[in-house]
Amino acid sequence: MLAAAFVLSGLVGLSIQQSTPLPSVVVKNGTYHGLHQTTYNQDLFLGIPYAQPPVGNLRFQLAQALNTSWSQPRDAKVYSPECFGYGSDQVGHNISEDCLALNIVRPAGHEGELLPVGVWIHGGGFLMGGTSDQRYNLSFIVQKSVEMGKPIIGVSIAYRLSFWGFSDSEEVRKAGVTNLGLHDQRKALQWIQENVGSFGGDSSKVTIWGQSAGAGSVGTHLIAYGGRDDGLFRGAICQSGNSILPLSPNYNVSDGQLAYNNIASIVGCRNTSDTLKCLREVDTKTLNSAINATFRLFPPVRDGTLIQDSIYDQLQNGAFIKVPLISGTNTDEGTGFGPRGISSDTAFAHYLSSKSTKASLNESILAALLAVYPNLPAASDVLYNIPLNFTQFNTTPAVPAPYNTPDTLSNTTYGSQWRRLVAFSGDFEFAGPRRLQCQSWSRHNVSAYCYRFNAVPSGYPPEIGSAHFDEVAFVFNNLDGLGYAINPFQDQPQSYTDLSDLMTRMWVSFIHDGSPNQHGVLDYEEWPIYDIQQNGGVGKDYFFTSTPKSSIETDDWRIAGINYLNSLWKTVYGM
């Protein structure tokens, strides 16, 4: 059993102490025994339930607080199974409905201290992912915090995914059980407030932190309940995610109702008097197969309670929890989103219209978007790592490409307007909402530290560039590439390792001190608070790159396109 735990928990290559005494903590419900990891002198407490198992009558219900206690110590030595999900992140992991658990990594030898806490919320499109993913190994960043003299505790939390955690229909809304995965996260944060002190954590110094859907979750907690502060965290980190786009543009409950009815029909619940009750009684395997057959995403929804109003209005009006924020995106976010094969203005215009799911864009808006996202923009507006002249259809002279990428690629399946497409897609999904969020923090005098990440890991073709997820290995200081098919740092220069060291230290500094600037590395510019009051309405970003060196940049790239996009969130996209 213990050997299996090494693989599932991402502890490959780390030494685990098997002799007694092992670390022990007493929480409100009883005592847990953990593991001691000798490589970094850390105590690990894995697979700790923070809520009752969401099974049987508790399926499709809000997570319920634990209601049992025990007198004999329980083991917390193995990661819990991952929640049911549908994608590559679930491959090779144990899966179960009984998955609402968290994991704690603390540095040993800090008895009597209360350490700041970083709570990691994984991404995966609210469709897949989990805490046992080796790419999210918290040991490295916790070790870095100790080396810095700023020790922190790392926590990772699991939450229900896909239809299990984000079903939507009239029945679901009437029962008040929308956005269950987000409520799971809040239940975990409440458990942390009540119990993290037993592990040596400071419940008043919790930072929530996520990437992609995890960052979208963080963004949602910042605006939840109209911006009500329940005292669950004092800081937030959003890596390639934001408050605007956990939701789907122009979503309507009828969209979710179709999927709900389809799943209910497959499992024989469609014509029952209480479909939710029936779905709770379906055996897990049957329901899982039905959900898997839907081939669709189940995003969070505006339900009038957790997510109440126009998110755009909330950000504009300051209806958000006013805590310090790190928020950023990667240069080439769009290469992982949007279709390939677009090679004409007509095809690109059709793609733009498809982003407005309920109503086609009117001619003036469509024309404006085509103008602010032209094909092959001027070199000064490019901001890509992928070559300008990347297909045989394109004869425009190339902008010099970073990282020695070629000026011409033979692969034409991307379409001749690939760079135009990924500019819009990346700005729509990530860069635009990120800029809007940073501007909102500045407008309401709250500290925000914003960034652009611009390193291309090993194993990527040049047309993909510095894409979605690429910063994760750098932030986690995962220099051995645990969990990656190709180590992101393989055959890369020392500057890549140095960049990871800087970013990890800045994240630790933010979690520990509320500012990223106490990182202890010399000869780097101070990361400025994003300020639109003194810089002509334009803030400053930290530009993380390996060549030549990370520095400060003005956040005005693709300003015409992003400004116009950000003006459409409420009126066109229903946000």
Task: Cite the active site residues.
Answer: 212, 333
Tell me the CA end-to-end span of the chain in Å, nearest whole number. Answer: 48
Farthest-apart Cα atoms in the chain, separation: 74
Residue 454 amino acid letter? N
- Token pair, residue 338, equals 């949007």
Nearest to 473 by CA among 133, 199, 167, 62: 133
206, 232 contact by CB (below 8 A): yes
* Helices and strands, counts by H and E, the chain: 17, 15
- Tell me, what amino acid is at 573? Y
CA-wise closest residue to 227 among 507, 440, 436: 440
1/164 Cα distance (integer angstroms): 28
Angle between helices 432-443 and 559-566 (to 10 degrees): 70
The enclosing H or E element of 281 equals helix 275-281
Q: Which residues contact 529 (CB under 8 A, 6 or more apart)?
A: 442, 447, 448, 449
How far apart are alpha carbons 227 and 112 in whole angstroms? 34
Q: Treating both helix axes as pointing N-terminal to C-terminal, what angle do 180-195 and 213-223 enclose, rounded to 10 degrees?
A: 80
- Residue 6 has which token pair? 């090494």
- Give residue 346's identity as a one-letter amino acid code: T
Render the burial of 431-464: b for 16+ CB within 10 Å, e for the rest: bbbbbbbbbbbbeeebbbbbbbbbbbbeebebbb
Q: How far is CA 239 from CA 127, 205, 328, 349, in A?
A: 18, 20, 5, 29
- In the DSSP assignment, the letter for residue 430 is I
- How many residues in total does the chain contain? 575
Q: What region does 496 belong to: left with phi over 0, alpha with psi -120 to 50, or beta?
A: alpha
Cβ contact 223:311 at 8 Å: yes
- DSSP 3-state assignment of 105? strand
* Cα separation, 275 vs 266, whole angstroms: 12
